Amino acid sequence: MKNPFASIPDAHEREAGDVFAPAFNADGLVTCVVTDADDGTVLMLAHMNAQALQLTLETGIAHFWSRSRGMLWKKGETSGNTIAVEEMRVDCDQDAIWLRGRVAGDGVACHTGSRSCFYRAVTPGGQEGTFVLTRRG
């Protein structure tokens, strides 16, 4: 699929303007963070190519590019945990997307069964200067 989005080479224009011109990286991807539209919890971080971004905008349901599988990924297609987009934002240099969304089904965003992929905190370990992971929620 052709990239249907504008391209703005000038950094200042990309930051200041009202033209949506996602700055895809060398692999054709932008990074996307998804938060819960209601309580702000960071649910997951994934990547979108132009097709995933276009489909997300057209359908209002989050689509990504799976780097591990090398294919378009409609999140929740098999689990039922699709993500309805409440708002899409783009950052200053337009290489990152923030989706505020709502997870369908049982509300679980992570393939491990946790609500959020970020279910562990990095906490001080037994010895000074060491760190371990502690489960949260």
The CA distances from residue 95 to 25, 32, 47, 50, in Å, are 8, 9, 10, 12
Nearest to 32 by CA among 94, 116, 119: 94
Q: How far is 88 from 59, CA to CA, in rounded Å?
A: 13
Minimum Å gap between C-beta 81 and a second copy is: 14
Of positions 20, 66, 105, 106, contacts a second copy by CB under 8 A: 20
Q: How far is 10 from 96, CA to CA, in rounded Å?
A: 17
Of positions 9, 40, 70, 126, contacts a second copy by CB under 8 A: 40
Minimum Å gap between C-beta 9 and a second copy is: 15
String marking each residue 87-106 x if it binds a second copy according to CB under 8 A: xxxxxx---x-x--------
Residues 69-88 that bind a second copy (CB under 8 A): 87-88
Residue 107 found at the interface with a second copy (CB under 8 A):
no
